Copies of this chain bind each other. A is one copy, B any other.
């Protein structure tokens, strides 16, 4: 490889040129080695955010990122291994339902999650709402558990994709987060390092998601799928709606309770429907016929096979397995529970991001890495767009730590809900990228 001329590489990206994969690899490798300074990387990233990166450029970045840390070896597992990743939204706890369904359908699910910042905790925080649940598993424990029961959800070790951690910290302070290619490279580097042979992305779009524009979300999905395919993984994406909360629960313990309700067949609706869509899509990516896959995932729920897998996972990871039988008895309660009723009319619009922030304000999420998440607090938002509010009481159940918080939440809700006449419920899934060629 020719000697890297760092300013010349930045200049080419500044001027809108596509870089060769070799040059991208050399540039990011030099950054890891300390030969590209932080200020040079940030100038490069800004140029790319404005000028754009191609899928080939993103794939080359991803390659360096994956190689920067440990790669989980799942090759010892029998059958296809699968990972599912959501770009994040409000009331989005599909992993707790989809992973058991897939395990019940014979796939191997080894999911490594981060904690992240946000209005509610991440998947690990939600699972830790279950008394006794342990998310720190060694690589050997993960492999043994997946071999045994088909699934494990554990904390990513510190050494997975260190390049991504460095880049994210830099992008966060330099306004260079907003790039489909960079987000895709970040997401996919972690998925590829996670070792699964099949990767399904759930790219959220709407005011409760990171991407609020369908075109942007589609671009992100395409970039992710292209990167995954370039690295030899069966990769697909659903682009799903986040213009209202996905499930009726927003928080940690409340989201776990609703997920268990879906697993045990006691909660039909949008959240269950999307979990089945995602699980079916993952099965299709492993080569299953679509109709056959849909039947298999529905049967996994109806037969309680998925619920059994969830119980087995909770048990294996030290949690109280009674949660499947009576989640609300096992999960911790909030000190104060109250309700709020919307004005009479049809729910026309909801400020989904605002609902997330409200749950965050109650203590469900974290602003900084060192913050603690309160598992007990959150919302149950019982309305969906198009619902007649007079037919559903209460509109919202509020789980708070103090009466003062409860009053604050009631006051905020008035601003977040728009009631009027005539509303068209948004679709659950905007698009599916499950074919061979994402472009």
A residues in contact (CB < 8 Å) with B: 6-8, 10-11, 14, 37-47, 49-51, 170, 172-176, 178
Contact B38 A175 (CB under 8 A): no
A50-B50, A50-B51, A51-B50 in contact; A175/B45 too (CB < 8 A)?
no
Separation in Å of the A162 CB from the closest CB of chain B? Answer: 18
Cα–Cα, bound, A181→B175 (Å): 22
Chain B residues with Cβ under 8 A from A8's Cβ? Answer: 175
CB-nearest residue of chain B to A9: B175
A50-B50, A50-B51 in contact; A170/B39 too (CB < 8 A)?
yes
Chain B residues with Cβ under 8 A from A39's Cβ? Answer: 38-39, 41-42, 170, 173-174
Chain B residues with Cβ under 8 A from A176's Cβ? Answer: 14, 43
Contact B40 A43 (CB under 8 A): no
- Can you offer 12 A-B residue contacts whose CB atoms are under 8 A? A6-B173, A7-B173, A11-B175, A14-B176, A38-B39, A39-B41, A39-B170, A39-B174, A40-B42, A42-B174, A43-B46, A47-B50
Choose among B6, B37, B175 the residue that contacts A10 (Cβ–Cβ < 8 A): B175
Chain A's interface: helix, strand, loop or mixed, by majority?
helix
Cα–Cα, bound, A175→B8 (Å): 7
Chain B residues with Cβ under 8 A from A6's Cβ? Answer: 173
Chain B residues with Cβ under 8 A from A170's Cβ? Answer: 39
Q: Which of A14, A38, A39, A178 has the most CB of B within 10 A?
A: A39
A39-B42, A43-B43 in contact; A49/B14 too (CB < 8 A)?
yes
Contact B51 A175 (CB under 8 A): no
Cα–Cα, bound, A195→B41 (Å): 38
Chain B residues with Cβ under 8 A from A7's Cβ? Answer: 172-175
Contact A173 B37 (CB under 8 A): yes
Beyond A46-B50, A47-B175, 20 additional contacts (C-beta under 8 Å) are: A7-B174, A8-B175, A10-B46, A10-B175, A11-B175, A11-B178, A14-B46, A14-B49, A14-B175, A38-B38, A38-B39, A39-B170, A40-B42, A40-B173, A40-B174, A43-B43, A43-B45, A43-B46, A43-B175, A50-B51
Separation in Å of the A87 CB from the closest CB of chain B? Answer: 20
Contact A10 B174 (CB under 8 A): yes
Separation in Å of the A6 CB from the closest CB of chain B? Answer: 7
Cα–Cα, bound, A143→B38 (Å): 44
Separation in Å of the A266 CB from the closest CB of chain B? Answer: 44
Cα–Cα, bound, A42→B41 (Å): 9
CB-nearest residue of chain B to A174: B43
Separation in Å of the A50 CB from the closest CB of chain B? Answer: 5
Separation in Å of the A217 CB from the closest CB of chain B? Answer: 19
CB-nearest residue of chain B to A14: B175
Separation in Å of the A392 CB from the closest CB of chain B? Answer: 39
Cα–Cα, bound, A58→B103 (Å): 61
Separation in Å of the A27 CB from the closest CB of chain B? Answer: 12
Q: Which of A41, A175, A176, A178 has the most CB of B within 10 A?
A: A175
CB-nearest residue of chain B to A11: B175
Cα–Cα, bound, A178→B37 (Å): 20
Chain B residues with Cβ under 8 A from A178's Cβ? Answer: 11
Cα–Cα, bound, A49→B50 (Å): 11
Cα–Cα, bound, A69→B390 (Å): 69
CB-nearest residue of chain B to A176: B43
Chain B residues with Cβ under 8 A from A37's Cβ? Answer: 38, 173
Chain B residues with Cβ under 8 A from A40's Cβ? Answer: 42, 173-174
Chain B residues with Cβ under 8 A from A50's Cβ? Answer: 14, 46-47, 50-51
CB-nearest residue of chain B to A36: B173
